[in-house]
Structure 1
Amino acid sequence: MTNEPFRSEHLLYFIQVVLTSLCLAILLRTWRFDMGIPFNYEGDTIFELALAKSIASGGWIWWVSDLGAPFGFDAAAFPQNITASSAVMKILSIFTSNPARILNLYWLLSCVLTSIVCCYSLRLFSFRWSVVLLVSTLYALLPYALQRNVAHISLTYAFVPVICAHCLRIISSSENDKLNRKNRAMLVVACVFLGLDYVYNAFFACFFLVCAAGVSTVIKRNSKPSRSAAPFIAIICIFSAINFVPSAVTWMTNGVPPNMSYKSAVEADYYGLKIRQVISPVMLERRADKAGFPLENENRFVRLGIVLALGYLLSIFYALFTAPPSRNDIRWAAGVLVLLGTFVATIGGLGSIFNLLIAPDIRAYNRIIVFIAFFSAVVLCALLSDVLRSIESQPVFQTRKWARQSASAGLVAMIFLAGLIDQGDAARPLVKRYSADSAQAIDEKDLVDKVEQRFPSVTQIYQLPETPFPLDAGQNRMKAYDHGRPFVWSKAVRWSWPSFSYRSEAWHERIGSLSDPEFLGNLFDSGFNGLWLDRYGYGEQDLPEIEASLRRQIGPPKLESNTKRYAFFDLSEKPGSPAANQGVSSVDRGELALDAPFLGFASGIYQKEAGADGESFRWSQRVSRILLSNPSATTRRVTFSAGFRSLPGGQLHILGSELDTMVDLQSGSGDFSVPLELPAKQTTKLTFRYVGDRVPANGDARVMYFRFVNPTLKED
């Protein structure tokens, strides 16, 4: 396997574990951390903590019963689907039920595992063990990993090196080289893990396997490389499809949830790769932050550090200025794959064309950097191995073994320290924010504990203000997903955040808003007996009015957080709430509110918009489907009605189980209304087929033929 025997491969991996763990401890100063507090406590981390909490509570990532009250949160409808990662977290939950500890441990373990797998993959190419240890550690501790940390556990990349190594072998190996059983098993494990996790790494893995097969086929003029790549592409695709099944099922049953059609082709440029960011040392990036470059977002996380950036630049040199038959085959192969990856991911690159012509779902092409980083690492390993070999061959070292070893070790250590210091700067924000995050988490946990201890009858809490999901840009001083914080620390309470279904959307429309005098009564009828107010969600002018309204109706808050950010109101003491008034009429009203029929939009229909005249409308593709759902235990008679607008000269064909009619849109507008009977616990589907011209929309990538105006479903 190697041209430089090592006493034990197991010892090599042990040293790799110790080295990576030690570097993590130093960079993060883990001796200061309470592992029960998340390393990062805002934004996407809150969502990941919610999933970890669901896992630790005996549930899973596809359905969270204690969120999205009163109906529950169908998390499968938001297809992150980190099944493989969640299985590991499920194992960790055997030892701890704290979601923050589970998330922290998973991320730390993934960093260590990444270094081990990278070490294994680099040793396949006979590089020096000292160089492999150096580069594997730097690869595991990329700024990409440190800056994304627990906020993006879906983007950990432990098994990426296995796929990358196979791509290089496809291009550079001879026809007689075959995978041994161990390598084949590692490839299968890597493909299964990638397929059962978030789609980005799976997509990029298939891309590079296709590229490797194509390049090898061209330079070797035979199809054998394609046969070497095809089985592993198939494994990734099969398990990715299996991983998507829960999302597909819920989409077919309930429709694609509201606010999910937010991805567009133009975002491939917005989140694209910037070469400046890839190769810049930390000092240059600090100057760039002040320069005000456009389109600076998560693509700032792609920095390789000064050491691996050298490998990136060298790989491009080898791709452009060396030929495949030369002794630098592996370097040329890595360089070609780096170039292809850069062409796809850069702003205005091939990824933008893919998104425009095929699908916009893979929008953050900067995330390809973990593949590019490994190919750069291979070139760097090859170069450093040659340099060490050259040093040791110098006459001055021929009779001085200690001097030869000291010179080699000194060079490797200097390069490693330079790279670690540069890359380690990415960990500074985590260290700096820990004190504030810890204080905030303790404050929130303390309030949630008090609510559950002092008000044991409170089982369902409504959260104000209402915030959108999944596109939550924050609201005043609230940040994205802040309403998920109390759930992380609760034990027996259901929370109203997030609203992420058409049923929930329809229910919110029925209960009204805080300005509606019936609002609190509707909450009572729906089973809520507590109210959580996040004062950060309101402006300074609005907050006094909001609190005054609540105090008039239900009295002062029963509890407040130490920081006064949160206030808790006990609705069970209000006459008419479920805890204080079990009258039949209240229960009946609650059942009607919760089980009322509602509309869902299955396919071909875009998000709701508001016109200048106050009308709500949704654009539709040529063919679209609406779902009419009846969640109650009895048959309901309803009337579906909608207006339609299109270019003049069209016709709209409407099909249902017992419906087949045409709406004339020759004038460009038309109205439709039909009585229907909805069976209990069933969903009825209406299909709309438009015959006519597409609506031209310059600068809008949507395919629009007509629009629904004020679609409504009313009970007779």
Structure 2
Amino acid sequence: MSESTLRRETALAWWRREWVVYAWSFVAGCVAAVIGLRLWNAKLSVPFEYQGDAIASAAHISTVLTQGWFEFEPRLGAPAGEFYYDFPQADNFTLIMAKVVGLFSHDWVVVFNVVFLLGFPLAALTATWFLRTVGVGRALAVALAVAYAIAPYHFQRGESHLYLGEYFPVPLAVVVLVWVLRGEALFTRRPGVHPVLAVLTGRGAAVVGITALLATASQYYSVFFLLLLAFAGVVALILRRDWRRFGGAVVAGAVVVVTMLINVAPNLIFQRTHGAALQALERSHGDTELYAFKLAQLVLPWSGHNIGILRRLRAAYDNGYPMISEHPALGGLAAAGLVAAFAVIAYLVLSRLRAGRGDDVVARPWFQNLIALSALTFFAFLLGSVGGISTFISFVTTVIRGWNRISIVMAIMCLGIIGLLIQRGLVWLANRRRAPHRSVAPAWVSLVAAVLIGCIALIDQTPYDASTSLKAAQTSFLGDRAYFASLQKAFPDDATILQLPYIRFPEDSSPNGTLASSELVPFLHTTGIRWTAGGIKGRPIADWPDELEGHSPAQIAALAAAAGMTGILVDRDAYNDGGRALVTGLQALPAVRAVGDESSRWVAFDLRPLASQLRGEVPPSLLDATRRAVIEPVTPYPVPDFQLTTTPKPNPRELWASNKPDSALTLENPRSGTVDGVFSFTVSTVPAVAGPVQLTLPDGSHQTVRLTGGTGSVRLRLSLAPGQSQLRVAIPASGQTVQLGLSNILFTEDATQRFLDRTASAVAK
């Protein structure tokens, strides 16, 4: 062999090495992300997304960089701090990624963006391994892997659902599912090497690593995997009667469960020590179907399609049909795979009905993989569909509600199905090369098919308005940064600022729809200053600002100053009236002054002059008692007996309803001593009756409330011991609903009332 021939053969061997496929996938995934996100219009120092839950995700990143981990943030939920232990989650891998990226940059914005961007090439890499494992050729595997990386789901989640967007462990987990469904052993060792190395590099180690990674990355994807694993394991057991292989599937599932428990162990320990927070995790049974998907949603074009007519088609569907969920869509390629999966299942059924015909095709390895993926896809479809298996699961637990999110698991399986079918088509084409007039070069055909798939994915799956979204985020972010820079100068570094209105965090909103997560914006743009927003709802130390809003602006200012607040920040966008009543009331107070630059959204007030005035006029003992009453108030919690409903008032706070014959309202006293005060609220019945409503007080005594037109006012003097006490409400007649009007509910401590009486005239001077 000549030297030139040898060099050519060596080069060809290098080109065909498997790692080159993954290198191409990584590069192509990066390029696709740049094109899909229009990153030439972006700035790494500005978030790609700056609204809604993206603010909450960014706050997690910021806390990880400054505090080491996200579970406690002293600058949120002031003065106690934000204890995220009250909202258990096992999605820790994304934050581990943030810590690693944080070794190279301390700017939370840069880390936030980089972690998000890494999700694209990582998804392409893991999808490539999945596709190669099930038998898809190199070029097709790269193209389909990139299509998976830029799935519509990825752009829909964006930085708002950063953890869900890091779905790269999913293809790895699907490989395990295919192994189980095909009856293959999961825990095997690598032959021909040292025993220790055989264990560490065998399939068993891979299964443990994959399942542990999945369980650390996402509790949603972990639950989906466990359900699909149960399906695959039972089907394989029925078909092969191999209990040993079934045991391997059980062990894989146990690794997921144990890893998830390890991830949430700090939360469980905290809640066991401090008790569970009331209302921290509110999920209704109906959410399961509200956040499921429909077949039409999966196969129709997605809402951000680049082609206008297809985008309008989807908009017409979403606007004209109920239950839009989270706008789930597979994308054209994966949607074709879903249809193919249904066709494969139909073929299997028909072939069995025709006395076993088709067994020669079914027995082929590539078709076995096709069957496995089709069966898993079909079961996943049953899980995520409206009224599907998930509805029955919701009878037991409502912790998982966004079942449409299983669509990204279906997407990789559907792309695998399409890849196998295209691969078989290319093999069939190659086998026809014997006819001279049909001679083809299979490698070139695969390459052309791969390029075509890549172009289809870019057009079909990337958002049409990426540049517009980036520009809007930049404008809003830079405006907020400038405003809060002025507040940083106006207040000392150790300032504590009350944010109004109070919006329970997380997963809640103000009456006009402003998300609680948006109230974390001040925290992201300042250093040192502590903010009252962001405390996990369900504990008085977090919910205390809510109790202040039942007072007048002058009383709010006085109580806040007595509680040690340096200032008040009003978010006008979160009020139905633009915050006009509150802002006007605060502006009228002579000892309260507005500070900071002009902003269309935010208005800040300095309470230090008022605090100084109060210290000169109010005895220290009364100030101290008032401070404790404000930041550690007795707080009413209607759950679980009462459910939140709507109210037509211009600025409603809450209206809670129950149709139980005897419902409990919990009153929580967070302090170590007994608290005396007056508890007032309204009670009504639907339909309206004359009453009466029977109340059972915490001390066991009873009181009757007479209703006029179905409504009555309640004013009770109570002495509440530390911890939780219950006020029970009995419905007048069966078939009725009792409502508590919490728009005027208030537990006013005696100390607070004495303080307000003493300062009523002084504050307004």
> Which category describes the TM-score, using the shorter chain as reference length?
0.7 to 0.9
Alignment check: 8 A CA contact 2:677 2:719 kept: yes
Specify the alignment match of 1:151 in structure 2: 160
Question: What is the correspondence of 1:150-549 to structure 2 with a 5 Å cutoff?
Answer: 150-155=159-164, 156-173=166-183, 178=188, 180=190, 181-257=201-277, 259-260=279-280, 262-281=282-301, 282=305, 283-291=309-317, 292-300=319-327, 302-322=328-348, 326=362, 327=364, 328-355=367-394, 357-395=395-433, 403-424=441-462, 426=463, 428-456=464-492, 459-473=495-509, 476=512, 478=514, 481-498=517-534, 500-504=537-541, 507-508=544-545, 511-513=548-550, 515-539=552-576, 543-549=579-585
Alignment check: 8 A CA contact 1:652 1:689 kept: yes
- Compared CA separation, residues 579 and 477, structure 1 to 2 (3 A): farther
C-alpha separation in 1, matches of 2:436 and 2:189: 38
SS at match of 1:54: helix
Instruction: Output one character per residue of 1:79-131: Cα deviation in whole Å (capped at 9) or x when no partner.
Output: 34422221221222222222222221111112211211121222222321111
Alignment check: 8 A CA contact 2:64 2:99 kept: yes
Instruction: Output one character per residue of 1:666-700: Cα deviation in whole Å (capped at 9) or x when no partner.
Output: xxxxx99999896xxxx6466999999x9778xx9
Alignment check: 8 A CA contact 2:559 2:630 kept: no
Aligned: 1:131 with 2:144 = no
- Compared CA separation, residues 442 and 15, structure 1 to 2 (3 A): same
Q: Where do 5+ consecutive residues of structure 1 fail to align?
A: 666-670
C-alpha separation in 2, matches of 1:135 and 1:611: 49
C-alpha separation in 1, matches of 2:592 and 2:639: 45
Residue identity opposite 2:369 in structure 1: I
C-alpha separation in 1, matches of 2:276 and 2:230: 31
Question: What is the correspondence of 1:95-110 to structure 2 with a 5 Å cutoff?
Answer: 95-110=104-119
SS at match of 2:445: helix
How many residue pairs get matched?
689
Q: Rg bigger for which structure?
A: 2
Specify the alignment match of 1:35 in structure 2: 44
Q: How far does residue 559 in structure 1 lie from its aligned partner after superposition?
A: 1.8
Alignment check: 8 A CA contact 2:426 2:446 kept: yes
C-alpha separation in 1, matches of 2:546 and 2:445: 73
C-alpha separation in 1, matches of 2:65 and 2:661: 42
C-alpha separation in 1, matches of 2:586 and 2:316: 44
- Compared CA separation, residues 493 and 385, structure 1 to 2 (3 A): same
SS at match of 1:419: helix
Alignment check: 8 A CA contact 1:68 1:497 kept: yes
Question: What is the correspondence of 1:5-84 to structure 2 with a 5 Å cutoff?
Answer: 7-84=16-93
Alignment check: 8 A CA contact 1:37 1:101 kept: yes
Q: How far does residue 494 in structure 1 lie from its aligned partner after superposition?
A: 0.8
Alignment check: 8 A CA contact 2:502 2:546 kept: no
C-alpha separation in 2, matches of 1:574 and 1:711: 24
Residue identity opposite 1:565 in structure 2: R
C-alpha separation in 2, matches of 1:696 and 1:248: 39
Alignment check: 8 A CA contact 1:462 1:495 kept: yes
C-alpha separation in 2, matches of 1:189 and 1:672: 60
Q: Which moved more, 1:290-299 or 1:225-234?
A: 290-299
Residue identity opposite 1:420 in structure 2: L
Alignment check: 8 A CA contact 2:493 2:528 kept: no
Across the aligned residues of Structure 1 and Structure 2, the Cα RMSD in angstroms comes to 4.5
Alignment check: 8 A CA contact 2:592 2:606 kept: no
Question: What is the correspondence of 1:667-678 to structure 2 with a 5 Å cutoff?
Answer: none
Specify the alignment match of 1:668 in structure 2: none
SS at match of 2:503: coil
Q: How far does residue 609 in structure 1 lie from its aligned partner after superposition?
A: 7.6
Residue identity opposite 2:288 in structure 1: A
Percent identity over the alignment is: 19
C-alpha separation in 2, matches of 1:373 and 1:684: 49
C-alpha separation in 2, matches of 1:363 and 1:664: 40
C-alpha separation in 2, matches of 1:639 and 1:245: 38
Q: How far does residue 480 in structure 1 lie from its aligned partner after superposition?
A: 5.2
Residue identity opposite 1:196 in structure 2: T
C-alpha separation in 1, matches of 2:583 and 2:634: 32
Residue identity opposite 2:480 in structure 1: E
C-alpha separation in 2, matches of 1:53 and 1:455: 21
- Compared CA separation, residues 418 and 690, structure 1 to 2 (3 A): same
- Compared CA separation, residues 599 and 497, structure 1 to 2 (3 A): closer
Instruction: Output one character per residue of 1:110-156: Cα deviation in whole Å (capped at 9) or x when no partner.
Output: 22112111212222223211111111111121100111111101213
SS at match of 1:320: helix
Alignment check: 8 A CA contact 1:521 1:576 kept: no
Q: Which moved more, 1:41-50 or 1:603-612?
A: 603-612
- Compared CA separation, residues 462 and 645, structure 1 to 2 (3 A): closer
Instruction: Output one character per residue of 1:355-401: Cα deviation in whole Å (capped at 9) or x when no partner.
Output: 1x212222211111121112212211211221222233332798999
Instruction: Output one character per residue of 1:224-259: Cα deviation in whole Å (capped at 9) or x when no partner.
Output: 442121011111112222333344344445554454
Q: Which moved more, 1:403-412 or 1:523-532?
A: 403-412
Alignment check: 8 A CA contact 2:143 2:450 kept: yes
- Compared CA separation, residues 10 and 408, structure 1 to 2 (3 A): closer
Alignment check: 8 A CA contact 2:90 2:217 kept: yes
C-alpha separation in 1, matches of 2:345 and 2:391: 24
Specify the alignment match of 2:755 in structure 1: none
Alignment check: 8 A CA contact 2:180 2:186 kept: no
SS at match of 2:105: coil
SS at match of 1:342: helix
- Compared CA separation, residues 391 and 91, structure 1 to 2 (3 A): same
- TM-score normalised by length of structure 2: 0.78
C-alpha separation in 1, matches of 2:133 and 2:703: 68
Alignment check: 8 A CA contact 2:503 2:509 kept: no
SS at match of 2:568: strand
Instruction: Output one character per residue of 1:45-101: Cα deviation in whole Å (capped at 9) or x when no partner.
Output: 111111111112124222221112222222222234422221221222222222222
- Compared CA separation, residues 645 and 556, structure 1 to 2 (3 A): closer
Q: 2:586 aligns with which of 550, 553, 557?
A: 550
Instruction: Output one character per residue of 1:174-208: Cα deviation in whole Å (capped at 9) or x when no partner.
Output: 57995754433332223223323442111100000
Q: Which moved more, 1:259-268 or 1:151-160?
A: 259-268
Instruction: Output one character per residue of 1:249-294: Cα deviation in whole Å (capped at 9) or x when no partner.
Output: 4444555445446422222222111211212234545313124233
C-alpha separation in 1, matches of 2:655 and 2:35: 55
SS at match of 2:499: strand
C-alpha separation in 1, matches of 2:748 and 2:435: 87
Instruction: Output one character per residue of 1:650-670: Cα deviation in whole Å (capped at 9) or x when no partner.
Output: x99999xxx9x89899xxxxx
C-alpha separation in 1, matches of 2:43 and 2:53: 20
- Compared CA separation, residues 626 and 333, structure 1 to 2 (3 A): same
